[in-house]
Amino acid sequence: MCGIVGYTGNEQAAPILLDGLKRLEYRGYDSAGLAVRDGGALAEVVKATGKLQHLADKTDQGRALPGMCGIGHTRWATHGGPSMVNAHPHVSGNCSGSGSGTVESDVVGVHNGIIENFSELKEKLLRHGYVFYSDTDTEVVVKLVDYYYKKYKIGPVDAITRTMVRVRGSYALALMFKDYPNEIFAARKDSPLIIGTAENASFLASDVPAILKYTRSVYYIDNLQVARVSPGSVKFYDLNGDEVTLPLTEITWDAAAAEKSGYEHFMLKEIHEQPAAVRDTLNSIIKDGDIVLTETGLTDEVIRSLSQIDIVACGSAWHVGMAAQYVIEDLAKLPVRVELASEFRYRSAPMPENTLVIVISQSGETADSLAALRVAKERGALTLAVVNVIGSTIAREADHVLYTLAGPEIAVATTKAYSAQLAAMDALAVRMALARGQISREEYGHLIEELGTIPDKIRRILEDKERLQWFSSKIANAHDIFFIGRGLDYAISLEGSLKMKEISYIHSEAYAAGELKHGTISLIERGTLVVGVLTQSGLYEKTVSNMMECKSRGAYLMGVTTNGNFDVEDSVNFAVYVPRTDEHFVSSLAVVPLQLLGYYTSVSRGLDVDKPRNLAKSVTVE
């Protein structure tokens, strides 16, 4: 949540900062601001509420702010409501206004995360004569850095490390000091922050797309580290102030991957990128007809030793886990629990010896998932991260990593990252089944062949999207939608329902079809849309029967099933077909029409598909 950008180099900073903030809009925000130094003691701070365009207009697209060193921020309100006063950047000086305008302040800073003990720290600073103009925890941490900087007459790095020792919570900080006008100092704990370098220029950002246009060479600053960023170079320090060395990572994403490329919305573009995302992910682990997990470190011997798997995730990644549970248990005969990360970390559930905890996260920075990973490691579990971002915190801290290759995903509602995660987990399930002797080599080869057909089958579904576009326009005024299914179809329903509610704002719920009579069916009214997912042959008739119960109470029915089940048209009002495949892998296909259904419904309602209200792409706070 929120977005940080920074630049120092030989070019005017403000236009570059605005460009970076625009590329981080998907993270969610309610206000934005810039701070730029022009080589002297004064900093120019400009803030605006609402859309980033308001900030661009106030600064003439950044051209009105001279200076070649600056920081920018898009804020999502936590402490203190959305306002000019609470918008970042914040300053250490005792300003009577909002901390904006031309200010002579020793420290200017922006911050992502939450400072849990900010009230205690604020009381301390008030006793030392500091005056506060905002309600934010960020102003507190900026002034605390200033306090140590002046009291002990130390350098920025030491002032920041002293602050880090006192602060509890999560943060990514970017700070500018009056005495160091061409440098930016950064620190992080549990909130994402990357630093990129180019010739005579350096960049900071919360996420890669913000700086991909300018450099592919980035550092992932570690937890509890400080960075001193100068034009074209960066130094890193630990909490003791000792310099440390970090590896430089080359980003392999094509810069065009972070652009719309002619599509109306990023979400639609990313839906169409799913065949490539799935193909690239599968090709990274399937070599010459064999699923190779060498790079993950998961050997067949380790797999055979496992007694249980716990899959931990949030949101759509949790839905991937729900689908993977059915596949792993059926193929590998290994017990699987699927846990919401926000619940797992606070439970004391017994964890048998030789438990593998799989943490799934697109960004690799999800706060609850990261905390759950650490809890799992404390309990002695083996951990595997399934993530999309190389060098992310979850990837670095897990014992083993399985990377998905979805590329940058900009739309808040995930599509291609979900599909890539699903493909990775399906491949993992197949390898586990072979390693544990639950399938023959012949069955193993057949399942790998089936996995290889998934990308082309997704492409075929996308070629027939006009009917879904038409149907979405007919249901755009719906008040309630219910998604039902059994087994894997229930897992698919969970994701379809989430896609609908998060971008169309229509109340939507997913239920295991067999649970309808346990209360849910009382909500069915005449005209209520019920979407049934019907891809599991052994459960097909039972789910159809549940749908007919809804129809008898006035529901309007949509069915998603596989080619060949044409008799479904005798029962439902609108049918969608996906190509046949091995039923273990059908989730990758059946979810695509549901993604399109959510997308086109949102478009029909005239909503901002890529930036739904109250949501952010990366949830980096609890």
10 Å CB burial of residue 613 (0-12, 13-18, 19+) is exposed
**Cβ-contact 326, 425 below 8 angstroms:** no
pLDDT of residue 301: 96
Decide yes or no: CATH 3.40.50.10490 for domain 470-604: yes
Helix boundaries (H) for 242-309: 266-272, 274-285, 300-305
Q: Which residues contact 134 (CB under 8 A, 6 or more apart)?
A: 80, 85, 86, 90, 98, 99
- Cα distance between residue 467 and residue 78, in whole Å: 42
Selection from 508, 463, 517 nearest residue 601 by Cα: 508
Quick: pLDDT tens for 136-150: 999 999 999 999 999
- Cα distance between residue 360 and residue 369, in whole Å: 8
Token pair listed for 159: 């002032």
Q: Which residue has the tokens 């060479």?
A: 217
The string of DSSP codes covering 345-389 is TT------TTEEEEEEESSS--HHHHHHHHHHHHTT-EEEEEESS
Q: Which residue has the tokens 């920018």?
A: 72
Token pair listed for 114: 């939450």
Predicted structure pTM score: 0.79
pLDDT of residue 617: 57
Decide yes or no: CATH 3.40.50.720 for domain 266-462: no
Write the single-letter amino acid at 207. D
Q: Which residues contact 308 (CB under 8 A, 6 or more apart)?
A: 334, 335, 336, 337, 351, 352, 354, 355, 356
Low-confidence stretches of the chain (pLDDT < 50) are: none
Residues taking part in catalysis: 2, 617
What single-letter DSSP state applies at residue 190? B
pLDDT of residue 258: 66
Selection from 87, 133, 132 nearest residue 110 by Cα: 87
pLDDT of residue 621: 52
Q: Which CATH class is domain 3-251?
A: alpha beta
pLDDT of residue 511: 92
| Residue 24 vs residues 364, 409, 508: alpha-carbon distances, Å | 17, 11, 28
pLDDT of residue 445: 97
| Domain 266-462 identical in fold to domain 470-604 | yes
Q: Domain ranges in the chain? A: 3-251, 266-462, 470-604
Q: Which residue has the tokens 């914040």?
A: 90
Token pair listed for 61: 């697209």
pLDDT of residue 93: 81
